[in-house]
Protein backbone atom coordinates (compact mmCIF):
# COMPACT_ATOMS: atom_id res chain seq x y z
CA UNK A 1 0.00 0.00 0.00
CA UNK A 2 1.36 3.38 -1.03
CA UNK A 3 1.89 5.86 1.84
CA UNK A 4 1.21 8.74 -0.58
CA UNK A 5 -2.41 7.61 -0.82
CA UNK A 6 -2.85 8.11 2.91
CA UNK A 7 -0.94 11.39 2.89
CA UNK A 8 -3.31 12.69 0.20
CA UNK A 9 -6.30 11.44 2.19
CA UNK A 10 -4.98 13.19 5.31
CA UNK A 11 -4.39 16.46 3.44
CA UNK A 12 -7.78 16.28 1.71
CA UNK A 13 -9.37 15.87 5.14
CA UNK A 14 -7.40 18.88 6.42
CA UNK A 15 -8.76 20.96 3.55
CA UNK A 16 -12.31 19.81 4.30
CA UNK A 17 -11.83 20.57 8.01
CA UNK A 18 -10.97 24.14 7.08
CA UNK A 19 -13.88 24.45 4.64
CA UNK A 20 -16.51 22.82 6.83
CA UNK A 21 -15.56 24.79 9.94
CA UNK A 22 -16.62 27.95 8.09
CA UNK A 23 -19.98 26.47 7.04
CA UNK A 24 -21.17 25.12 10.41
CA UNK A 25 -23.75 22.81 8.81
CA UNK A 26 -25.03 19.92 10.92
CA UNK A 27 -25.47 17.74 7.80
CA UNK A 28 -21.92 18.25 6.52
CA UNK A 29 -20.52 17.94 10.05
CA UNK A 30 -22.29 14.60 10.51
CA UNK A 31 -20.94 13.18 7.24
CA UNK A 32 -17.39 14.38 7.84
CA UNK A 33 -17.45 13.06 11.41
CA UNK A 34 -18.50 9.72 9.93
CA UNK A 35 -15.47 9.76 7.58
CA UNK A 36 -13.13 10.17 10.55
CA UNK A 37 -15.00 7.72 12.79
CA UNK A 38 -15.07 4.99 10.13
CA UNK A 39 -11.33 5.41 9.45
CA UNK A 40 -10.67 5.02 13.18
CA UNK A 41 -12.87 1.91 13.42
CA UNK A 42 -11.07 0.23 10.49
CA UNK A 43 -7.65 1.04 11.95
CA UNK A 44 -8.77 -0.50 15.22
CA UNK A 45 -10.04 -3.64 13.49
CA UNK A 46 -6.70 -4.09 11.74
CA UNK A 47 -4.92 -3.66 15.09
CA UNK A 48 -7.14 -6.20 16.84
CA UNK A 49 -9.23 -3.71 18.82
CA UNK A 50 -12.87 -4.71 18.72
CA UNK A 51 -15.20 -2.43 20.69
CA UNK A 52 -18.43 -4.04 21.89
CA UNK A 53 -20.62 -1.37 20.29
CA UNK A 54 -19.68 0.16 16.97
CA UNK A 55 -21.30 3.44 15.97
CA UNK A 56 -19.77 4.76 12.76
CA UNK A 57 -22.15 7.74 12.88
CA UNK A 58 -21.29 8.80 16.43
CA UNK A 59 -21.21 12.58 16.71
CA UNK A 60 -17.70 13.99 16.60
CA UNK A 61 -17.29 17.62 17.54
CA UNK A 62 -15.63 19.75 14.83
CA UNK A 63 -13.06 20.91 17.38
CA UNK A 64 -11.80 17.30 17.60
CA UNK A 65 -11.50 16.69 13.85
CA UNK A 66 -7.86 17.77 13.42
CA UNK A 67 -6.60 15.57 16.26
CA UNK A 68 -8.58 12.54 15.05
CA UNK A 69 -7.47 13.06 11.44
CA UNK A 70 -3.81 13.24 12.53
CA UNK A 71 -4.14 10.15 14.74
CA UNK A 72 -5.89 8.17 11.98
CA UNK A 73 -3.12 9.10 9.54
CA UNK A 74 -0.31 8.12 11.93
CA UNK A 75 -1.93 4.79 12.82
CA UNK A 76 -2.52 3.99 9.15
CA UNK A 77 1.17 4.70 8.41
CA UNK A 78 2.16 2.38 11.28
CA UNK A 79 -0.08 -0.31 9.78
CA UNK A 80 1.47 0.17 6.32
CA UNK A 81 4.99 -0.01 7.77
CA UNK A 82 4.39 -2.89 10.16
CA UNK A 83 1.73 -5.24 8.83
CA UNK A 84 1.75 -7.84 6.10
CA UNK A 85 -0.80 -6.53 3.59
CA UNK A 86 -2.11 -10.04 2.96
CA UNK A 87 -2.89 -10.77 6.62
CA UNK A 88 -6.57 -11.63 6.96
CA UNK A 89 -8.58 -9.72 9.56
CA UNK A 90 -11.73 -11.19 11.09
CA UNK A 91 -14.20 -8.56 12.28
CA UNK A 92 -17.88 -7.87 12.80
CA UNK A 93 -19.70 -4.98 11.21
CA UNK A 94 -22.02 -2.59 13.06
CA UNK A 95 -24.84 -5.15 12.70
CA UNK A 96 -22.75 -7.88 14.34
CA UNK A 97 -22.20 -9.86 11.11
CA UNK A 98 -18.79 -11.54 10.78
CA UNK A 99 -16.48 -10.93 7.83
CA UNK A 100 -12.86 -11.38 6.79
CA UNK A 101 -10.68 -9.20 4.57
CA UNK A 102 -6.98 -8.58 4.03
CA UNK A 103 -5.24 -5.57 5.54
CA UNK A 104 -4.68 -4.26 2.00
CA UNK A 105 -8.38 -4.53 1.15
CA UNK A 106 -9.34 -2.70 4.32
CA UNK A 107 -6.81 0.08 3.71
CA UNK A 108 -8.12 0.52 0.17
CA UNK A 109 -11.65 0.65 1.56
CA UNK A 110 -10.68 3.44 3.99
CA UNK A 111 -9.42 5.57 1.10
CA UNK A 112 -12.35 4.80 -1.17
CA UNK A 113 -14.89 5.39 1.62
CA UNK A 114 -13.33 8.75 2.51
CA UNK A 115 -13.31 9.93 -1.12
CA UNK A 116 -16.93 8.80 -1.58
CA UNK A 117 -18.12 10.87 1.36
CA UNK A 118 -15.98 13.89 0.41
CA UNK A 119 -17.86 13.73 -2.91
CA UNK A 120 -21.14 13.89 -1.00
CA UNK A 121 -19.80 16.84 0.94
CA UNK A 122 -18.84 18.62 -2.29
CA UNK A 123 -22.46 18.34 -3.49
CA UNK A 124 -23.77 19.68 -0.19
CA UNK A 125 -21.32 22.58 -0.29
CA UNK A 126 -22.46 23.44 -3.83
CA UNK A 127 -26.08 23.33 -2.62
CA UNK A 128 -25.09 26.04 -0.13
CA UNK A 129 -23.86 28.05 -3.16
CA UNK A 130 -20.21 27.70 -2.16
CA UNK A 131 -17.30 26.24 -4.11
CA UNK A 132 -16.09 22.89 -2.71
CA UNK A 133 -12.35 22.39 -2.31
CA UNK A 134 -10.34 20.53 -4.91
CA UNK A 135 -8.81 17.44 -3.32
CA UNK A 136 -8.23 14.97 -6.17
CA UNK A 137 -5.18 12.73 -5.86
CA UNK A 138 -3.73 13.89 -9.17
CA UNK A 139 -3.77 17.47 -7.90
CA UNK A 140 -1.79 16.33 -4.89
CA UNK A 141 0.84 14.68 -7.13
CA UNK A 142 0.78 17.18 -10.02
CA UNK A 143 4.00 19.06 -10.80
CA UNK A 144 3.84 22.20 -12.95
CA UNK A 145 5.89 22.37 -16.15
Identify each DSSP E strand in 5-133 by its residue range.
88-92, 98-102
Q: Is the model more confident about 96 or about 71?
A: 71
Contact 91, 98 (CB under 8 A): yes
Contact 114, 13 (CB under 8 A): yes
Predicted confidence band of residue 123 (pLDDT cuts 50, 70, 90): very high
Question: Which of the 8 DSSP states describes residue 82?
Answer: H
Average pLDDT over residues 125-133: 95
Q: Where are the domains of the chain?
A: 3-80+88-140
Residue 52 has pLDDT above 90, yes or no: no
Contact 31, 122 (CB under 8 A): no
β-bridge mates for residue 89, sequence order: 101
- Supply the pLDDT for residue 14: 98
Q: What is the reported pTM?
A: 0.94
- Supply the pLDDT for residue 50: 82
Contact 36, 141 (CB under 8 A): no
Helix ranges, 89-130 (H): 103-127
Contact 65, 17 (CB under 8 A): yes
- The Cα 85–Cα 140 span in angstroms is 24
Average pLDDT over residues 59-78: 97
Query: Which stretch of DSSP H or E encloses residue 22?
Result: helix 3-23
Average pLDDT over residues 50-65: 87
Question: Which of the 8 DSSP states describes residue 56?
Answer: T
- Supply the pLDDT for residue 109: 98
Pairing label, strands 88-92, 98-102: antiparallel
- Supply the pLDDT for residue 62: 95
* Structural class in CATH, domain 3-80+88-140: mainly alpha
Q: What is the pLDDT of residues 2-13, one digit of tens each?
A: 999 999 999 999
Residues of the chain with pLDDT > 90, as a percent, come to 86
- Using CA atoms of 121, 126, 132, 137 in order, give the dihedral in degrees to the nearest 10: 60
- Supply the pLDDT for residue 81: 97
Amino acid sequence: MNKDFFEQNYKANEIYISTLSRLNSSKTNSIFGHVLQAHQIWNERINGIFPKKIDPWKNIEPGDWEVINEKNFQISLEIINGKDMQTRINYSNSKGEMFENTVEEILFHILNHSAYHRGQLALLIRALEKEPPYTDYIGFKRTPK
